[in-house]
Structure 1
Amino acid sequence: MSGEGAAITADTNQHYDLDPDIFGQFLDPLRKYSSALYESDSDTLESAQRNKLRFVARRLGLGGGEQLLDIGCGWGSLILFMAQEYGCHTLGVSPAPRQHEYIAEQATVRGVAQLVHTRVGHFEELDLPTGSVDAVTMLGSIVHMPDLDEVFRRARAVLRRGGRLYVSESCFRNAAARKAFDERAGTEFVRSDIFGWGELRPLSELVTAAEDAGFSIVAVDDLTDQYRRTIEDWIANVDAATDRIDAHQPGLAAKLQHYLEVANAGWGYTTKHYALTCRKAR
């Protein structure tokens, strides 16, 4: 890895290596850290996150027992859910060691330790068998990957013929919005104070990289309004748990709230949130 790549690896870990209890204060009980899917006005954050995971399963065409790879697995919500609900054999990849410890504990508690495995590292650097999985997921992780062509190429290589890739990501609304807002203060705050390195792209760049890698595009879903409501729920939870969050690190609740408010401010105007489903047709 180059010096720049090594810096990206270190910087991107800073947010996800916070104490797991912090995330438990404002996320749903599964600790899913990406957009939910609200099917009614009465849906809670927890029920909406379960709706979203079932939506992902439908997009992937899961019937039960498949081999699934989750890139950027976070706190394990997807791999734990797919193991419990669909009997999938799952592998999660993340560079944050604390997430792996938490996932292993949860897999044991939920009785799916034999179905849930993880590896510490970056997908681009791992040696994974060709044609070994039925489905690949990337929920909010591709923003941290500098080489789109390599990511899509490797995702296609690890899939069996007919396998599907699900990518959901926040994107600049178009190339002009990217040029205008990429270096604004809010964008830089998220990069430097929250996640480290990250790059939002227009949806067109994701589609081009997927097609150039040999994927067929199955579906594109606009989840922008869903993510807006998700973040509103997270903000409310941060506000309610300010004292408990600040007990870990003084001022952290205000930093989290500012980040979430910055993320919510641009929906529709500068940014969108899309789900892209691709198939390895041949």
Structure 2
Amino acid sequence: MTTTADAGIATPSTPSTPSRPGETNQHYDLDPRIFGLFLDPLRKYSSGMYRTPGITLAEAQEAKLHWVAERLGLTPGGGQRLLDAGCGWGSLILFMAREYQTAVTGISPAGRQHEYIASRAAELGVTDRVTTAVGRFEDLDLPARSFDAVTMLGSIVHMPDVDVAVRRARAMLRRGGRYYVSETCFRNAAARDEFDKRTGTEFVRNSIFGWGDMRPLSELVRAVEDAGFSVDDVEDLTEDYRLTIDDWLVNVSAAADAIDALRPGMAAQLTRYLEVANAGWGFTTKHYALICRNAR
């Protein structure tokens, strides 16, 4: 696995400050073992894809990653390069490196995630195709026009200036490259105005994530169009995410004692967070994936 220096990717000149809007937050810097107790084996912390009856959480997450690869036009052995802004525990980049032989770069401000990804890349034998960089996507010195695909699965919510983030994504792409962004959105502007400061929303934003800003889908579409992208498709993943969180809740309940042994009270906090998230689907929130193309 190459380091940021080996890859020619510079970290920000100013150290990360967790209280800064849009930085990573306390949630992703928790003990990695906590996430291993309720996520799937890939530790994918975003929506799966439940299009087959009776599918398990692990199967739904692999189905989702294959679907993302298809939407991005990745092919096994195709020699593509992918940049994942907000790479989490590396589920997407490690999967694409292993299954599609894609050269991948993952970005996250959470140091613990990079340590985990490095160890998993070594176990999977894909260190030669995996690079990670510690920092904020908006701040890092990245090679322009050098990627075939850019992904943001549930990470743009932590980026305070959506326009800057999307323009940066386009600047990373070669002509014809594809951009995939998926995010939980308020159902419309009126729902955002009504529910943005409600108790449940504030609990998730401040007690779990430290900072985050859900936007209506219309704001994301405007941002990608203003950045110069062509929108190829919009997929509604709301029901898929509801089923994903249902499975996470089952796992949290089953592993509550083990989770609390690592961090007392964490099982109850996770349960409240996930229940708040699932309570809003269709009423206050939706979950969408946008597939865009850098046509120029």
Q: TM-score, normalised by structure 1?
A: 0.97
Residue 73 of structure 2 corresponds to which residue in structure 1? Answer: 61
Amino acid at match of 1:17: D
Instruction: Give how far 1:97 is off.
Output: 0.1
CA distance in 2, matches of 1:39, 1:273: 16
Instruction: Pick from 7, 27, 31 the counterpart of residue 43 of structure 2.
Output: 31
Contact 1:8 1:196 in 2 (8 A): no
Root mean square deviation, CA, Å: 1.6
Residue-pair matches, total: 281
Does residue 93 of the first structure (1) align with residue 104 of the second (2)? no
Amino acid at match of 2:137: F
Does residue 108 of the first structure (1) align with residue 122 of the second (2)? yes
Instruction: Give how far 1:9 is off.
Output: 5.6
Residue 96 of structure 2 corresponds to which residue in structure 1? Answer: 82
Post-superposition Cα deviations, 1:221-269, rounded to whole Å, max 9, x if no partner, equal 0000000000000000000000000001111100000000000000000
Contact 1:75 1:99 in 2 (8 A): yes
Q: Sort the Cα spacing of 1:109 and 1:9 in 2 relative to 1 into closer, same or farther, 3 A.
A: farther
CA distance in 2, matches of 1:185, 1:225: 24
Q: Please list every run of at least 4 consecutive aligned residues from structure 1 whose deviation after the TM superposition is greater than 3 angstroms.
A: 9-12
Does residue 18 of the first structure (1) align with residue 30 of the second (2)? yes
Residue 117 of structure 1 corresponds to which residue in structure 2? Answer: 131
Structure 2: 5+ residue stretches without partners: 1-11
Identity of aligned residues (%): 68
Structure 1: 5+ residue stretches without partners: none
CA distance in 2, matches of 1:83, 1:65: 10
Instruction: Pick from 162, 167, 188 the counterpart of residue 202 of structure 2.
Output: 188
Q: Sort the Cα spacing of 1:218 and 1:112 in 2 relative to 1 into closer, same or farther, 3 A.
A: same
Contact 1:134 1:160 in 2 (8 A): yes
Q: Which moved more, 1:149-158 or 1:5-14?
A: 5-14
Q: Sort the Cα spacing of 1:116 and 1:11 in 2 relative to 1 into closer, same or farther, 3 A.
A: closer
Q: Sort the Cα spacing of 1:123 and 1:176 in 2 relative to 1 into closer, same or farther, 3 A.
A: same
Amino acid at match of 1:142: I
Does residue 168 of the first structure (1) align with residue 190 of the second (2)? no
Amino acid at match of 2:195: F
Amino acid at match of 1:187: T
- The structure with the largest helix share of the pair is 1
Structure 2 SS opposite 1:273 = strand
Residue 201 of structure 1 corresponds to which residue in structure 2? Answer: 215
Residues 122-133 of structure 1: matches in 2 within 5 Å? 122-133=136-147
Does residue 250 of the first structure (1) align with residue 264 of the second (2)? yes
Instruction: Pick from 39, 51, 72 the counterpart of residue 63 of structure 2.
Output: 51
CA distance in 2, matches of 1:19, 1:7: 19
Post-superposition Cα deviations, 1:19-68, rounded to whole Å, max 9, x if no partner, equal 11000000000000000001222210000000000010011011232100
Q: TM-score, normalised by structure 2?
A: 0.92
